[in-house]
Amino acid sequence: MNIRNLFIIISFLVLVSLSCKGQQILKPEELTISEGFKIPIGFYNAKPTFSWKLAISKEVKSQSAYQIVAATSVEQLQTNPDLWDSQKQKSNQSTWVSYQGKALQSRQKVYWQVRYWNQNDKVSNWSEVSNFELGLLNNSDWQAKWIGLPTNDEKVKGSQDNIIHRPQYLRKGFELSVDVISARLYITAKGVFDVAINGKNVSNDVMPPGWTPYKKRIETLTYDVTNLMLSGKNTIGVELASGWYSGRLGWMKSFWNDTESPKILCQLELTMKDGSKKVIVSDESWKGTTSGPIRVSEIYDGEIYDANYELPNWTTNTFNDKNWKNVQAFTIENSIQLEPKRHHTVKPKIALETKEITKKDGAVIFDLKQNMVGVPLVKVPVKKGDTLRVRFAEMLSPDGSFYTENYRTAVSTDYYIAARNETIEWQPKFTFHGFRYVELSGFDTTKVPSKNWVTGIVQYSDFEQNGTFITSNEKLNQLQSNIVWGLRGNFFDVPTDCPQRDERLGWTGDAQVFGPTSLFNADVYQFWASWLQSVRESQYKNGGIPFVVPDVLNNGKVSSGWGDVSVIIPWKVYFRTGDKRILEENFEMMKAWVKHHQESSKKYISHMNSFADWLQPYPENGDNKGDTSQDLIGTAFFAHSAKLTAKTAEVLGKYEEQAIYEKLYKKVAEAFDNQFFDKNGKVKDVPETQTSYLLALAFDLLPKEKRVEAKANLLKKIAAADNHLRTGFLGTPLLSEVLDEFGEVDLMYKLLFNETYPSWFYSINQGATTIWERWNSYSKKEGFNPQKMNSLNHYAYGAIGEWMYERIGGIAPLEAGYKKIIIAPEPKAPLKSASAAYNTPYGKVVSSWEMEKNTFKLETTIPPNTTAAIIVPGDTKQDLLFDGKKIKSNSNVKLIRKENHSFELLVQPGRYSLQSKMN
């Protein structure tokens, strides 16, 4: 062979290998564990699940197999995975794959990687190496003690004669003889805390550890503080306030639990350069004082900061604590489970600038033009001795004054007492407010107020947006914005009803109706999974679920439609994520709740107490509970929860139980029909309301023939209300579901686009920037609803979001977890276009449509490892165009039906551009 031929052969081989390389399947991306954690430290679960996404490429439609490896180090991972090698598993599962390796321990760090095979059995590259580190999983991992000062003894009184625990400042200095190479701080509080080491903040977490049923479980935080450690002397300092632990939660004295002095628990674990270990714990050796600058801090009432009490450098080595007291120390109790926090803490997420300022009676009002939740950051000139007063309001009264009646007894006012002439930069730490307006008084009046004196720091549980929804209609976009702000405002570590008045509690009914909508807007799986643990822990022995979780009302009472959160949310979360674990974790709770329903019934008719169709408009009886019969509501939810429990049993492969609950559901449905409906599908013996029909139809409680008649009766009721809704908390989320199922999308559009009371746009027309508690919380004409229970940030009616995304945007799961997706938008006037995007567990789905004269155009993206049914509305006598050409079935697209003014396609992952003629 001559040199030239050799050269040609070598060039050929190089080219072949290069082109093969080009075809290499891209590595899996976005590795997460359990409910979507990225690279957590202090992780809560020693038996995690693994998820990954397939990269978008022409070569990858689906996964046919995967391999996961896990090891104690990166080196081991690549040579000999010492914790787990799943081997090649033939499976299309790329989400929630259970770890099945060696048992993992507290503090353990695990490195892991995954690769997959595509539909043609071609293997991908290995993913990047990911990792997680476990927290302290058992109480026995703690050597530390609960410590604090006996603040209860100080007998300081708050605004309602409640006991106030002055915030405590706790510190400890220690010396290290060897340098640190790794440091972990494990910490929590009976109360809320902020921690610093050597003068530096450990994190920007807001009011950790958050709120759980403290008598059963307190969450712990883990921080990597390696970079904060010094050679030689070190100091740790913790600020501690009562938070949710010992305050006046609940609007009546009988609910308060304000006598227990707050405490902290912390354990700093150090690995030294020479390999040795050292542990610094909270114990009797710590010192504390209540003579620090935060004089008072209360969730409802606000914070008082007195700069005269400042303790410069108190978290550094230079501070002298000889005048501080010795703390009290208490051994940890076995009855309270200490568990790593299982969802993200509250964080400062958005900074809102002031848009407008006005002067009023010597004060200045700052308008952020958005109702929000969090704290103000004030940068204000003050003079020594001044008391700066910071007040809040969600809205102004017509005369420009502050509307604060709806805060009820929550004083919601912060104070800053100035020690020097200066421009301060300050924000309260252990309280939060719900507001759009901030009023300042008591500043240096020689200075001219300016907008930058106040910034709104929006705080909420640290999740990211997961879905987007935008249309050609401004008011609908405003409604979407109001829904998202309702979510931001009421996901403050737990789901709350409202964020501003003397309540802010984890109302179960509100969570039940809004949960599904929240799952579209944000990655809140962790948030719900975590709160459901609190719900389980709060369930009464008789299976009852309290009104609020954590159960600060502690009155043993239940309500139908509220307690059903225990069944509905696990099911909805499962259906959106496809993760069976949420069902496994909650199955026992569901069964116990259904049993409680059963015990509250006679002959399958419920007599359970209920808040009923809470805040229904125009109640004939004038009651907040509306007109729909409580027994009817209770029986409907009894049947529905039994049915969802049956479905859960089926998913979990518990077929005997499935049969039991199916039978129960049928029995209850039959009793419901006999008791509340006549033979013409009309409500009998109890008030005939929109909600009674909605419950019967949504929960499938009538025989088939009667459904049609019941629907006709529902339509009559709606027509009699001048085509307006008459639904409260329970009925509203079912309106869209039922009208849609029965082919009444036009009517649903009508209700959604109604401008007059009661409707969603009514509040928008009155200037709402969040969802209100009442359909008529305020009107430009009549002012505020005279009832004091009048929150302007209450997410329940935002439950319409679910339908907006699924049917206006057009994205819904057809199978659990969006393994099979349905893209079926309903384009109707007055909309000209709508666009939705959602990050499913498999990747991003897009559905974006527009109407141009009579041409309908749809752009959609379907992620790898899923399939989708696409329903395109249009005149089926004319052609459906795909990428501008007449559609032809191929391996990616199959036209499976053409009827009823629509085309139905079955498609593989990819991007599709479709076009039809409407007539």
In the complex, which residue's CB is closest to ligand RAM? 497
Structure tokens that stand for 218 in this block = 């307190």
- Count Cβ atoms within 10 A of the Cβ of residue 573 and give its class: 0-12 exposed, 13-18 middle, 19 or more buried: buried
Structure tokens that stand for 563 in this block = 């307690």
Q: Beta strands 867-873 and 820-823: pairing type?
A: parallel
Tell me the DSSP string of 345-365: PEEEEEEEEP-EEEEETTEEE
Tell me if 256 contacts ligand RAM by CB under 6 A. no
Phi-psi region of 604 (alpha: psi -120 to 50; beta: other; left: phi over 0): left
Considering beta carbons, is residue 532 or 771 the nearer one to ligand RAM?
771
Q: How far is the CB of 510 from ligand RAM (least distance, A)?
A: 5
Q: How far is the CB of 814 from ligand RAM (least distance, A)?
A: 32
Considering beta carbons, is residue 509 or 801 the nearer one to ligand RAM?
509
Considering beta carbons, is residue 575 or 795 the nearer one to ligand RAM?
795
- Per DSSP, which regions of 474-614 are E strands? 491-492, 494-495, 601-602, 605-606
Q: How far is the CB of 562 from ligand RAM (least distance, A)?
A: 7
- Tell me if 177 sits within 8 A of 210, measured CB to CB: no
Q: How far is the CB of 738 from ligand RAM (least distance, A)?
A: 22
Interhelix angle for 525-538 vs 565-577, to 10°? Answer: 150
- Tell me if 187 sits within 8 A of 263, measured CB to CB: no
Of 14-22, 76-84, 160-168, 502-510: span binding ligand RAM (CB under 6 A): 502-510
Considering beta carbons, is residue 402 or 562 the nearer one to ligand RAM?
562
Cα–Cα distances (Å) from 119 to 31, 61, 690, 866, 889, in that order, read 20, 7, 50, 12, 20
Binding mask 457-496 for ligand RAM (x = CB under 6 A): ----------------------------------------
Q: How far is the CB of 501 from ligand RAM (least distance, A)?
A: 9
The CA-based angle 613-615-620, given to 5 degrees, is: 85
Contact pick of 194, 298, 503, 551 for ligand RAM (by CB under 6 A): 503
Please pick, among 503, 688, 744, 806, the residue that the annotation labels catalytic: 503
The tokens 């409802």 sit on which residue?
Answer: 300
The 8-class DSSP code of residue 557 comes to -
Q: Residues 28-54, buried b or exposed e (16+ Cβ, 10 A)?
A: bebbbbbbbbeebbbbbbeebbbbbbb
Q: How far is the CB of 614 from ligand RAM (least distance, A)?
A: 5
Give dist(CA 882, CA 56) in Å, integer: 20
Residue numbers 766-785 binding ligand RAM by CB under 6 A: 773
Q: How far is the CB of 156 from ligand RAM (least distance, A)?
A: 28
- Residue whose C-alpha is closest to residue 283's, from 319, 321, 338, 326: 326
Considering beta carbons, is residue 744 or 773 the nearer one to ligand RAM?
773
Tell me if 614 contacts ligand RAM by CB under 6 A. yes
Q: How far is the CB of 68 from ligand RAM (least distance, A)?
A: 43
Considering beta carbons, is residue 613 or 826 the nearer one to ligand RAM?
613
Q: How far is the CB of 530 from ligand RAM (least distance, A)?
A: 20
Q: How far is the CB of 255 from ligand RAM (least distance, A)?
A: 12
Give dist(CA 191, CA 826) in Å, integer: 49
Structure tokens that stand for 754 in this block = 């109604």
Residue numbers 421-450 binding ligand RAM by CB under 6 A: none
Considering beta carbons, is residue 297 or 518 the nearer one to ligand RAM?
518
Three-state DSSP string of 855-869: EEEEEEEECCCCEEE
Tell me the residue length of the chain.
Answer: 919
Considering beta carbons, is residue 611 or 672 the nearer one to ligand RAM?
611
Tell me if 613 contacts ligand RAM by CB under 6 A. no
Q: Residues 137-170, buried b or exposed e (16+ Cβ, 10 A)?
A: beeebbebbbbbbebbeeeeebbbebbbbbbbbb
Q: How far is the CB of 162 from ligand RAM (least distance, A)?
A: 19
Determine the straight-line distance between the first and last CA of the chain, rounded to whole angstroms.
71
Of 63-71, 151-159, 503-511, 538-546: span binding ligand RAM (CB under 6 A): 503-511
- Tell me if 517 sits within 8 A of 801, measured CB to CB: yes
Considering beta carbons, is residue 773 or 802 the nearer one to ligand RAM?
773
Tell me if 611 contacts ligand RAM by CB under 6 A. yes
Give dist(CA 650, CA 652) in Å, integer: 5
Contact pick of 497, 627, 688, 826 for ligand RAM (by CB under 6 A): 497
Peptide bond into 209 cis (omega under 30): yes
- Cα torsion angle, 98, 101, 106, 109, sign: negative
Q: How far is the CB of 557 from ligand RAM (least distance, A)?
A: 11
The 8-class DSSP code of residue 373 comes to E
The 8-class DSSP code of residue 331 comes to P
Number of amino acids touching ligand RAM (CB under 6 A): 8
Considering beta carbons, is residue 392 or 611 the nearer one to ligand RAM?
611
- Tell me if 760 sits within 8 A of 479, measured CB to CB: yes
- Residue whose C-alpha is closest to residue 631's, from 662, 602, 605: 605
The tokens 């299976």 sit on which residue?
Answer: 543
Q: How far is the CB of 394 from ligand RAM (least distance, A)?
A: 15
Residue numbers 505-564 binding ligand RAM by CB under 6 A: 507, 509-510
The tokens 């944000």 sit on which residue?
Answer: 522
Tell me if 366 contacts ligand RAM by CB under 6 A. no
Please pick, among 239, 339, 773, 802, the residue that the annotation labels catalytic: 773
Three-state DSSP string of 643-694: HHHHHHHHHCCCHHHHHHHHHHHHHHHHHHHHHHECCCCCECCCCCCHHHHH
Considering beta carbons, is residue 208 or 509 the nearer one to ligand RAM?
509
The tokens 């209609």 sit on which residue?
Answer: 473
Of 181-189, 225-233, 473-481, 501-509: span binding ligand RAM (CB under 6 A): 501-509
Considering beta carbons, is residue 505 or 695 the nearer one to ligand RAM?
505
Phi-psi region of 602 (alpha: psi -120 to 50; beta: other; left: phi over 0): beta
Considering beta carbons, is residue 413 or 793 the nearer one to ligand RAM?
793
Query: Is 773 a known active-site residue?
Result: yes
Catalytic residues: 503, 773
Residues that bind ligand RAM (CB under 6 A): 497, 503, 507, 509-510, 611, 614, 773
